[in-house]
Chain A
Amino acid sequence: MIDYDYKKPENLEEVFSLLKEYGPKATLIAGGTDVMVKIRNTRKAPEVLISLRGLEDLRYIRKNNDYHIGALTTHRMLEQSDLVKTELSALHDGASEVGSVQIRNVATVGGNICNAAPSADTSGPLLALDATVVLEGPEGRRSLPIADFFTGTYRTVRKAEEVLVEFQIPVEMEGFGSAYWKHSRRKAMELPLLGISVALKLSENKEISDARISLTVAAPTPIRAYKAEEFLKGKPLDDDVLRETGKIASSRDCCSLRDSLRCAAWYREKIIQVFVPRMARLAAERIKN
């Protein structure tokens, strides 16, 4: 029999005091589309669920200097935001691909990242957009690059007493174009076999002046393909350069592909080699003038 208590704090202070009171017996829940599914599938529940849905002031998408996205922002809000679509396009791509409309209406971006599935559709875009994760605990706030947030499959650096409150994306990203490709067998209700995000910027002479590439399901955590990024910088956006970038991104220098029930490693390698170039082209087309 599944049994748990369900707490509905109205502000962060109440969340912190509940976390202190229940410690490891408690689990945070936001949209619930991962937490509830896990409870149903395992038939095991924590003693207490602490809901974050009452923290309405953590649902926002703002641009003031940097971009600020509240942790309780739903995937649907990201999907429908013109600001996200035009200036943080990869994140729009990723958020629009999660589950179904029914799921996106409640599932939050903070939850997607804290759950830390290797296949999370917003993690790759946030990595490529150089997002900073803001955590808040009873002692105050701390920030870290999202690249340092994931420590393993379903594991992060978030401490039990902390809540992820915001993502910040540097304003410099407005000069970049970005794109995310979710490679899957169906068009919806799927997890990616591989996810590829590219964000890049062109100089006046049409050379790539800066680039960020991230891969999901290519390692135990979402990763940046730093060596491939380095290779791109200062080069023209042409077929030879992009083909080589795809090769570097799919090599052991950048990722650790493996065979799984859902996809073979050799196929994942091919996906990266084909779609890194395509996403780079799309990202370049999306650069705002």
Chain B
Amino acid sequence: MKKVPVSFTLNGDPVTAEVPITWSLLETLREYFELNGAKKGCGVGECGACTVIVDGDAVSSCLYPIPEIEGKSVTTIEGIASAEGALHPLQKAFIENNGVQCGYCTSGMIMSAKSLLDQNPDPTEDEIRTSIAGNFCRCTGYIQIVEAIGMAAIESDRK
């Protein structure tokens, strides 16, 4: 199978990789970079477990053809805590509000929420719900997750 070289920014660092041309961004993150935070759920863009941020926008990395990542900037769940290891306000809020149960949806859920808060620091509950409408959680019933995102928005506001 043909391989393709790609250069992009991953969690702030410039990286290069040479991977099969048919790989998705998700496969590249997990298999090549061994970043296993983004999960494979459905593999067809329906569940949101693979959500990462590309150039500021939340995308389903399972549907993102790897040749398209050239020159882009990718942020995954591994890249949102501070360099010193302090958790991101969203990560703290998910823990404090019991927004995590089995955890499989959590990294995608947080990346969708981060993309929302980066673009809209003071969202309404409706806007929060819309932002995670593509992230399926089969444990929590969503209430704690919506509350966690709301709390993180307030926390970020205070800073």
A residues with a Cβ closer than 8 A to B are 1-6, 8, 29, 32-33, 36-37, 40-41, 45, 49, 51, 53, 76, 99-103, 105-106, 187-189
B residues with a Cβ closer than 8 A to A are 1-2, 4, 21-22, 24, 43-46, 48, 51, 57-60, 63-65, 67-68, 70, 112, 115-116, 130-131, 133-136
Of the A-B pairs whose beta carbons lie under 8 Å apart in the complex, a sample of 15, sorted by A's number, is A3-B1, A5-B21, A33-B63, A36-B45, A37-B45, A45-B22, A49-B65, A99-B134, A103-B45, A106-B64, A188-B133, A188-B134, A189-B133, A189-B134, A189-B136
**Nearest A residue (CB) for B115:** A101
Contact A102 B2 (CB under 8 A): no
Contact B65 A105 (CB under 8 A): no
Contact B133 A187 (CB under 8 A): yes
Contact B67 A8 (CB under 8 A): yes
Contact B133 A37 (CB under 8 A): no
Q: Which residues of A contact B24 (CB under 8 A)?
A: 36
B17 CB, min distance to chain A CBs, angstroms: 15
Instruction: Out of A4, A37, A76, A100, name the residue touching B21 (CB < 8 Å).
Output: A4
A23 CB, min distance to chain B CBs, angstroms: 20
Instruction: Report the Cα distance A53→B63, complex, angstroms.
Output: 14
With contacts A37-B45, A40-B43 known, is A105 near B59, CB below 8 A?
yes
A131 CB, min distance to chain B CBs, angstroms: 26
Contact B64 A41 (CB under 8 A): no
Contact B44 A40 (CB under 8 A): yes
Instruction: Out of A8, A37, A106, A188, name the residue touching B44 (CB < 8 Å).
Output: A37
Instruction: Report the Cα distance A102→B54, complex, angstroms.
Output: 10
With contacts A4-B22, A40-B44, A106-B59 known, is A100 near B67, CB below 8 A?
no
Instruction: Out of B21, B65, B67, B112, name the residue touching A36 (CB < 8 Å).
Output: B65
Instruction: Report the Cα distance A105→B60, complex, angstroms.
Output: 9
Q: Which residues of A contact B51 (CB under 8 A)?
A: 102
Q: Which residues of B contact A189 (CB under 8 A)?
A: 46, 133-134, 136
Contact A102 B43 (CB under 8 A): no
